[in-house]
Structure 1
Amino acid sequence: MSENCIMEIAKNRKKKIWKSEINDIIRGSCGGFLFGIPLLYTMEVWWIGSRAKPPMVLLAVALMFVVVFLLNRTEGFKKHRRNCPPYQSITDTVEAMAIGVSCSAFVLILLQEITPTTPLKEALGKTVFESVPFTLGVALANHFLGDSRNPDAQAQTNSKNNQNSQELSATLADIGATLIGATVIAFNIAPTDEVPMLAAAVSPPWVLIILASSLVISYGIVFEAGFSNQQKRRQQKGIFQRPLSETVMSYLVSLLAATFMLWFFQQLTFNDPWTIWLEHTVLLGLPATIGGAAGRLAV
Structure 2
Amino acid sequence: MTQPHAANTNMWPLELQAVVRGAAGGFLFGVPLLYTVEVWSIGSSTGAWWLLAVLGATLLVAWLLTQVEGFRQTLSLHPLEAVMESVEAVGIGVVCAALALVLLRRITLDTPLAEALGKLVFEAVPFSLGVALARSTFQGRKIRDRRTTAPLSRHFSSPTLATVRDALVDLDATLIGTVLIAFSIAPTEEVPLIASSLPSLWLLLIMAASLGLSYAIVFASGFADRSERLQRGLLFSPITETLAAYLVALLISVTMLVLFQQLNQTDPWQEWLGNTLVLGLPASIGGAAGRILI
Q: Same fold (TM over 0.5)?
A: yes
| 1:8-47 alpha-carbon deviations (Å, 9 max, x no partner) | x222201122122111100000011111111111111111
Q: Aligned partners of 2:36, 2:30: CA distance in 1, in Å?
A: 11
The one-letter code of the counterpart of 1:27 is R
Partner of 2:66: 72
Q: Aligned partners of 1:238, 1:80: CA distance in 2, in Å?
A: 32
Out of 200, 207, 213, the residue aligned to residue 209 of structure 2 is 213
Over 3 Å counting, the alpha-carbon distance change for 1:11 and 1:81 in structure 2 is same
1:1-299 correspondence runs (5 A): 6-7=1-2, 9-82=3-76, 84-146=77-139, 166-235=162-231, 237=232, 240-299=235-294
Point out where structure 2 has 5 or more consecutive residues left out of the alignment: 147-156
Please, what TM-score do these two structures have when normalized by structure 1? 0.89
Q: Aligned partners of 1:147, 1:298: CA distance in 2, in Å?
A: 5
| 1:209-228 alpha-carbon deviations (Å, 9 max, x no partner) | 11001000000000110114
The 8 Å contact of residues 41 and 189 in structure 1, kept in 2 or not, is answered as yes
RMSD: 2.1
Indicate the SS of the match to 1:166: helix
| 1:123-144 alpha-carbon deviations (Å, 9 max, x no partner) | 1110110111110110011123
Indicate the SS of the match to 1:204: coil
Please, what TM-score do these two structures have when normalized by structure 2? 0.90
The 8 Å contact of residues 174 and 286 in structure 2, kept in 1 or not, is answered as yes
The 8 Å contact of residues 43 and 121 in structure 2, kept in 1 or not, is answered as yes
The 8 Å contact of residues 218 and 224 in structure 2, kept in 1 or not, is answered as no
Q: Which structure has greater helix proportion?
A: 1
Q: Aligned partners of 1:77, 1:49: CA distance in 2, in Å?
A: 27
Q: How many residues align structurally?
A: 281
